[in-house]
Amino acid sequence: MKLVQSILTKNPCYTAGRKITVKGLMLHSVGCSQPKASVFINSWNSPSYDNACVHGFIDGNDGTVYQTLPWNHRGWHCGSGNKGSGNNTHIGVEMCEPACIKYTSGANFTCSDLTTARAVSERTYKAAAELFAMLCRQYNLNPTADGVIISHREGHRRGIASNHGDPEHLWTQLGMGYTMDTFRWAVKAAMDKGSSSDTGGYTRIMGTAVATAEQMETYIKAKNPQVPQSVLDMIPLYLSEGKTEGVRGDIAFAQSCLETGNFTFSGSAVTLEQNNFCGMGVTSNGMKGNSFDTPQFGIRAQIQHLKAYASIDALKNPCVDPRFKYVARGSAEYVEWLGQQENPQGKGWAAGAGYGEKILTILKNICGTAGGASGTADTWYRVRKTWADAKSQIGAFRVLENAKNCVDKNPGYSVFDENGVNIYTLDTAAFSPYLVRVSITDLNIRKGPGTNYAKTGKFTGKGVFTIVEKQTGKGSDTGWGCLKSGAGWISLDYAEKIS
């Protein structure tokens, strides 16, 4: 989170100088199609602007948080209701909204670019979660306690705010899958992040599948020779649905094998005809669980449920998971944490002991079958100072990108393959920005340094651009360059360095 102080010293709310005892945080969205926080800051920082003042704005273009009032000042952000005003107890923060929406009546709007609108809303949601986590720490607030973190809409229902529908109206109409409950748990996850000291060898749920469809089919045929053809036909859906949401589809398939008894459904509360391959909705003995119209929707719901546990990112597809809203977002980043008994927060998919390890055992067996990349199943990438200095190892990873990320955070360490070959070392040499020329019109800009990061939906076009950072990453031999404009990253394979 990038936090910039831009106090509205000329606004009458600031000059009034009233203080509050902070008891909670209120989340707003601006209610108009304006992603730039600077527009509001410039307009509101005036002695004549005496109808509103908030503690902060979150920019929709880059997620920067602008603090516009001291946190303990009384703001003018929510009006009042029949039980008083949240201005007396709550810090108020506004999230900027996408430029591509157009309000029609009340809180209703149309959207001309759903992809961009969702990206803006996801950006502000995540920045808000980080900001609220910081403020909860600062004021010793419990983010999941009643009334601590609320929206303007919830404030009105509690009788302490004017009648507004934000920000839930934005998330709902964009099909984000966000609610204030998911937001509160995202804040808690941000507060808890890093509390577990040893996750170096754990398996992330988010990422690219390692096992292939052929390996999954070979595995299930061996375990269940009578497996229906309909099950074999739907195996590729685990990979395609997983790829869409950034979830490892092979992990989802391994989980389905566990939950369905390798698709025999022996002892399972669900049946094949329900298209429910993960026991979703079976919350107690005797419950039948949820049913879905097609296998694809059943798998999509399972993928979305895994994403709810593993990430606070917005869904890419409309939510078909009926239990998505009940998940503590981001509470189980790793497969090992899907079991409630092993989860640091006591959250998780299943109550039984060793649930995550059971999934990983199946996954390892799937990866060990024929039909995949040679050596993929048992490859570990170790992070050490030198290969000979085994005691210096601070992590072992199945996914190379995770190992690289560990090195990036720990200068002096390198990634070694199982033969002791150094395959990645952070370049700590001072970086000097330089110019590149792009000669193609359709060079994609991505959100991060690699094709494993989402496209922003924008292109550079032809021209000269300034690169302010360079990193290695998937999909580029030359590396990835960060644009000075902040728009994102481009592959330097398609750019010519000119200075």
Q: What is the pLDDT of residues 171-196, one digit of tens each?
A: 999 988 788 988 998 898 888 764 44
Q: What pLDDT score does 379 carry?
A: 65
Report the C-alpha gap between 383 and 360 in whole angstroms: 22
Q: Which residues contact 284 (CB under 8 A, 6 or more apart)?
A: none
Residue-wise pLDDT for 151-178, tens only, equals: 999 999 999 999 999 999 999 999 887 8
Q: pTM for the whole thing? A: 0.54
Torsion 345-348-351-357 (CA) sign: negative
Using the structure block, give the residue that is written with the tokens 């990193």.
471
Tell me if residue 483 falls in helix, strand or coil: strand
CA distances 395 to 176, 196, 383, 407, Å, are 34, 14, 5, 9
Residue 146's CB is within 10 A of a number of other CB atoms, namely 9
Q: Where is average pLDDT lowest: 85-89, 242-246, 422-426, 457-461?
A: 422-426
Q: Are 91 and 55 in contact (CB under 8 A)?
A: yes
Q: What pLDDT score does 371 carry?
A: 61
| 31: Cα within 13 Å, side-chain hemisphere | 13
Residue-wise pLDDT for 33-91, tens only, equals: 999 999 999 999 999 999 899 999 999 999 999 999 999 999 999 999 999 999 999 99
Strand 24-29 relative to strand 149-151, pairing: parallel
Report the C-alpha gap between 452 and 94 in whole angstroms: 31
pLDDT band at 377 (very low <50, low <70, confident <90, very high): very low
Report the C-alpha gap between 281 and 291 in whole angstroms: 9
> Two tokens at 292?
């879905």
Q: Which residues face 301 on adjacent strands?
A: none
Q: Which residues contact 411 (CB under 8 A, 6 or more apart)?
A: 426, 428
| 380: Cα within 13 Å, side-chain hemisphere | 12
* DSSP summary character for residue 493: G
- Is the pLDDT at 373 greater than 50, yes or no? no
- Is the pLDDT at 256 greater than 50, yes or no? yes
Q: Are 92 and 79 in contact (CB under 8 A)?
A: no
Q: Are 484 and 431 in contact (CB under 8 A)?
A: no
CA distances 2 to 59, 64, 281, 447, Å, are 10, 5, 39, 16
Residue 12's CB is within 10 A of a number of other CB atoms, namely 15
Report the C-alpha gap between 88 and 452 in whole angstroms: 45
Peptide bond into 167 cis (omega under 30): yes
Residue-wise pLDDT for 444-467, tens only, equals: 999 888 887 888 889 999 999 998
In this structure, which amino acid lies at residue 459?
F
Tell me if residue 215 falls in helix, strand or coil: helix
Span 364-376, average pLDDT = 67
Burial of 23 (0-12, 13-18, 19+ CB in 10 A): middle
Q: Are 271 and 376 in contact (CB under 8 A)?
A: no
* DSSP summary character for residue 46: S
Per the prediction, the chain carries an average pLDDT of 88
> Two tokens at 108?
């209703």
- Is the pLDDT at 347 greater than 80, yes or no? yes
CA distances 47 to 36, 74, 161, Å, are 21, 17, 24
Length of the chain: 499
pLDDT band at 286 (very low <50, low <70, confident <90, very high): low
> Two tokens at 284?
């107690």
Q: What pLDDT score does 419 carry?
A: 63
Q: Which of 3, 155, 30, 162 is nearest to 89 (CA)?
A: 155
Q: Where is average pLDDT lowest: 4-18, 55-69, 188-202, 236-250?
A: 188-202
Tell me if residue 462 falls in helix, strand or coil: coil
Strand 381-384 relative to strand 414-416, pairing: antiparallel
Domains identified in the chain and CATH numbers: 3-192 (3.40.80.10), 213-367 (1.10.530.10), 381-425 (no CATH), 434-497 (2.30.30)
